[in-house]
Structure 1
Amino acid sequence: MLMLVNCSNCHAPLQLPPAANSIRCVLCQAITLIADPRSSSTSSSTHPHPPPSPYNLAPTGPPPQVHGRKRAVICGVSYKNTRYQLNGCINDANCMKFLLVHRFNFPESSIITLTEEETDPYKRPTKRNMRMALRWLVQGCQPGDSLVFHYSGHGSQQKDDNGDEMDGYDETLCPSDFESQGMIVDDEINATIVRPLPHGVKLHAIVDACHSGTVLDLPFLCKMDRKGRYTWEDHRPRTGMWKGTSGGEVISFSGCADDQTSADTSALSKITSTGAMTYSFIEAIEQGHATTYGSMLNAMRSNIRNADEGGFVTSLVSMLLTGGSLGGGLRQEPQLTANEAFDVYRKPFSI
């Protein structure tokens, strides 16, 4: 039976294999020595020279103490050989990595990519690996840092159990092993990468999934009013629970509203299967619309609206995940949420 212990350095929960007397933390790479693995009252110490990171693309050793660092976590989950299989998510991950490296100068060594194509077990998009990668993303961040989280895969909803959702449902992301390990709930995502973010750090999330409108649980949602202008809705929980940051800035683009599905389709690119939202995000940048957040959102919505109908794969599979129905068809509206309201027509878009 596995015994739960805490990392002696970062205190992350770890599962100690039977008879083992040490364990390496996936997050900080510290070695925790266990005095007696059969006892719950164990003592531990950190190895002075931790081994290289199990993430091949992650920086080795402790995070470099420099400002202006760029770091990203990219997840593409295809659910291969299951009834939930998607066709465009790994393409999305590869395209997003290319964009970050070649358009926004992210070092390849500072990008963790999780896909099911990887042979390294630490780089597959399991629930455990996704959790560790999200913690890595914000660990040690400093003023001037730019962080990106991109996810392409299934999203779903489940009944809210703490009263912090206006519609009564939490939004979720589905790791590759969600059927056995469960989904990652928006409350956890917010607690992991939103609330700890310090002043001067910026995080962008690009989430291409069904029911993803408020998947970071951010306090403000950008909506278009009857006059065709963007305004902000206050989504702070009535319970008073704080869902913002510790001074940092978080802006999230998501594929659709919480009650909508996102398309996995080749209708936009005409070449290969991609997520409609990821494609529209990249295309907006390539077409020169990355001036303000308002122009980005307009371009993304226009790209999707003008596309041919498609995407039955994701929408039909979403019914299996949620137990719902397709309802109003396949239309999706990309969403913008943030920890603070701002003028989307004036604020420059920057990653």
Structure 2
Amino acid sequence: MLMLVDCSNCRTPLQLPPGARSIRCAICQAITRVADPRSLPPPLPTQPYATSSSHNYAPPPPAPSPYDRLSSFGQTPPVNGRKKAVICGISYRRTKHELKGCINDAKCMKYLLINKFKFPESSILMLTEEETDPYRIPTKHNIRMAMFWLVQGCQAGDSLVFHFSGHGSQQRNYTGDEIDGFDETLCPLDFETQGMIVDDEINATIVKPIPHGVKLHAIIDACHSGTMLDLPFLCRMDRTGRYVWEDHSPQSGMFKGTNGGEVISFSGCDDDQSSADTASLSKVTSTGAMTFSFIQAIERGHGTTYGDMLTSMRTTIRKNESDVGGGAVTSLLGMLLTGGSLGGGLRQEPQLTASEPFDVYTKRFSL
């Protein structure tokens, strides 16, 4: 059983292997040491539960922990072929950063995973401002813990999904592992006070631990999201109109791959671009342009291979199609998608990155 401890320097949650007494943080490189429970003195007696005439003392019940709550999310039998997902939609309501379509994105993605790809609802962790559980509000801490939950205990045959719809940004990189000199970042609900989640941490948390036989897909609908997972390979279209892989491995030699598993990410735009909401003809609701095009490609049968998916998504956004078409998602989500259209003038191009290159024209897409 892995134990979660906070880094002594940057407070990033870390997974302490069984029997280990120290661990080095992948983000700040600080070493956190944990005392051996066997060397600790016995606990001091606390206030008794019995009457004052009794001398039987008992420790108070432990306070509930966010770690305990997260470990109970989506528990399914430990068999091969499990499916787990973290879906995060942040609207930043009543702030100058407010977005209109992100929570709709989260609802649409959840419906898609359950009804199209047979993800158990109990294995999907939703983080939105609409949640009543305080541990499901998309704060920086909760998103971090949700990412740990997603990969914890994964084994060969498992399929994992991480979806984020919200603000993305960039900050100056000082370690030399970014070609453009900037780290990409996700903005949690409390980013103005708690800071952003940097791509280095995302890579260390949900990319590097993925073991052989496990597949993780990330769908990131945010600005500056092209390389949000810091994956080493980026799919580009060459002058002949064919997709080719660019090697974006850090010049420093820093490892950005997995522990043998496969990670593939679809993102809303290139690192230097912004993502947009769709406009709604009914003026009632909207969705993110990237999530819209992702779902539409699947519902219209355009997602046979990864190349088909990428082409369909890019075509949808370029042509600004004015209808969302038929399909299970449209028919049952009703107001979430009915009448939706893409607004004109979008300047974004969905991106595909991966832990290892593959033939996008023959590899079949599935979640």
TM surpasses 0.5: yes
Consecutive unaligned residues of structure 2, counting only runs of 5 or more, are: 17-32, 39-60, 323-344
1:298 pairs, out of 303, 307, 311, with 311
Alignment correspondent of 1:71: 84
- SS of structure 2 residue aligned to 1:113: strand
2:264 pairs, out of 223, 226, 251, with 251
Residue 348 of structure 1 pairs with residue 361 of structure 2: no
Question: 1:87 offset after TM fit, Å?
Answer: 0.6
Check the 8 A contact 1:268/1:304 in 2, yes or no.
Answer: no
Question: 1:11 offset after TM fit, Å?
Answer: 2.9
Q: 1:231 to 1:54 in 2, by over 3 A?
A: same
Paired AA for residue 59 in structure 1: G
Residue 10 of structure 1 pairs with residue 3 of structure 2: yes
Alignment correspondent of 1:337: 353
Check the 8 A contact 2:74/2:125 in 1, yes or no.
Answer: no
- SS of structure 2 residue aligned to 1:303: helix
Check the 8 A contact 1:236/1:243 in 2, yes or no.
Answer: yes
Q: 1:197 to 1:241 in 2, by over 3 A?
A: same
Which 4+ runs in 1 deviate beyond 4 A?
40-45, 50-53, 267-271
| Counterpart-to-counterpart distance in 2, 1:80 and 1:14 | 31
Residue 178 of structure 1 pairs with residue 194 of structure 2: no
Alignment correspondent of 1:5: none
CA offsets, 1:130-164, max 9 Å, x none? Answer: 00000000000000000000000000000002110
CA offsets, 1:90-115, max 9 Å, x none? Answer: 00000000000000000010010000
Check the 8 A contact 1:92/1:274 in 2, yes or no.
Answer: yes
1:234 pairs, out of 210, 224, 247, with 247
Superposed, 1:69-218 pairs within 5 Å as: 69-218=82-231
CA offsets, 1:226-281, max 9 Å, x none? Answer: 11111110000000001000100000000000000000122599863100000100
Judge which range, 143-152 or 117-126, deviates more.
117-126
* Structure exhibiting the larger radius of gyration computed from Cα positions: 2
Alignment correspondent of 1:34: none
Residue 54 of structure 1 pairs with residue 47 of structure 2: no
| Counterpart-to-counterpart distance in 1, 2:116 and 2:283 | 23
Consecutive unaligned residues of structure 1, counting only runs of 5 or more, are: 1-7, 16-24, 29-39, 310-328
Check the 8 A contact 1:58/1:109 in 2, yes or no.
Answer: yes
TM-score by structure 1 length?
0.80
Question: 1:79 offset after TM fit, Å?
Answer: 0.5
Superposed, 1:266-281 pairs within 5 Å as: 266=279, 272-281=285-294
| Counterpart-to-counterpart distance in 2, 1:141 and 1:306 | 40
| Counterpart-to-counterpart distance in 2, 1:250 and 1:41 | 31
Paired AA for residue 125 in structure 1: P
Alignment correspondent of 1:323: none
Aligned residues with identical type, % of pairs: 67
Q: 1:161 to 1:91 in 2, by over 3 A?
A: same
Question: 1:64 offset after TM fit, Å?
Answer: 3.4
| Counterpart-to-counterpart distance in 2, 1:146 and 1:304 | 28
The aligned length equals 301
Alignment correspondent of 2:296: 283
Judge which range, 284-293 or 51-60, deviates more.
51-60
CA RMSD of aligned residues (A): 2.9
| Counterpart-to-counterpart distance in 2, 1:334 and 1:282 | 13
Q: 1:215 to 1:281 in 2, by over 3 A?
A: same
| Counterpart-to-counterpart distance in 1, 2:293 and 2:223 | 15
Question: 1:54 offset after TM fit, Å?
Answer: 2.8
Check the 8 A contact 2:318/2:346 in 1, yes or no.
Answer: no
Question: 1:41 offset after TM fit, Å?
Answer: 9.0
Q: 1:163 to 1:269 in 2, by over 3 A?
A: farther
Paired AA for residue 168 in structure 1: G
Question: 1:201 offset after TM fit, Å?
Answer: 0.1
Question: 1:43 offset after TM fit, Å?
Answer: 7.0
| Counterpart-to-counterpart distance in 2, 1:268 and 1:256 | 24
- SS of structure 1 residue aligned to 2:4: coil
Q: 1:211 to 1:168 in 2, by over 3 A?
A: same
Paired AA for residue 249 in structure 2: R
Alignment correspondent of 1:318: none
